[in-house]
């Protein structure tokens, strides 16, 4: 959008973060995006009054990392001791191991990769 002061980026639409973890916003922002999204749809006037013209405040820096793989096959085991070591790091808030033993994992396709296993064939 072009304003008298120059270009301005306008985000359209309330939505949840791409990590699909509702608690992530609570860790990094001063509001819950899930609650704000629900309020925007259910009671738009209240949403506008509460959040209109407001800028989110960041509580802390954060990042979400999805891993990719070139491997394809069935998960045989998950080394929970290693997962627990990662979870115990002071810089890690959450570690999700999405696939469990017996589930099939496909080679990642595209920049985001495959998060929950193989598409049905």
CA distances from 57 to 23, 31, 46, 51, 61 (A): 16, 8, 20, 12, 11
Confidence category of residue 121, pLDDT binned at 50, 70, 90: very low
- Give the integer Cα–Cα distance in Å for 101 and 43: 44
Alpha-carbon distance of 106 to 113, in angstroms, equals: 9
**Residue pLDDT, tens place only, 7-42:** 887 765 555 666 677 777 788 888 888 888 889 899
Residue 89: both structure tokens together:
């790091």
For the chain, which residues make up each domain, given as ranges? Answer: 2-51, 65-121
pLDDT in tens, 37-75: 889 899 999 999 998 888 878 888 888 887 777 778 899
Name the residue among 73, 77, 58 with its Cα closest to residue 107: 73
- Partnered with residue 8 across adjacent β-strands are none
pLDDT of 13 reads 57
Q: Does the predicted model carry a pTM greater than 0.85? A: no
Q: What is the pLDDT of residue 115?
A: 45
């Amino acid at each position: 959008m072009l304003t008298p002061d120059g270009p301005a980026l306008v985000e359209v639409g309330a939505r949840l973060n791409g990590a699909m973890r509702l608690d992530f916003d609570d860790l990094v922002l001063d509001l819950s995006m899930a609650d704000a999204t629900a309020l925007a749809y259910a009671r738009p006037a209240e949403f506008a009054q509460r959040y209109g013209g407001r800028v989110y405040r960041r509580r802390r820096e954060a990042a979400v990392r999805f891993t990719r793989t070139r491997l394809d096959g069935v998960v045989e085991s998950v080394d929970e001791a290693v997962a627990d070591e990662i979870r115990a790091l002071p810089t890690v808030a959450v570690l999700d191991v999405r696939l469990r033993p017996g589930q099939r994992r496909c080679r990642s396709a595209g920049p985001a990769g495959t998060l929950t296993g193989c598409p049905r064939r």
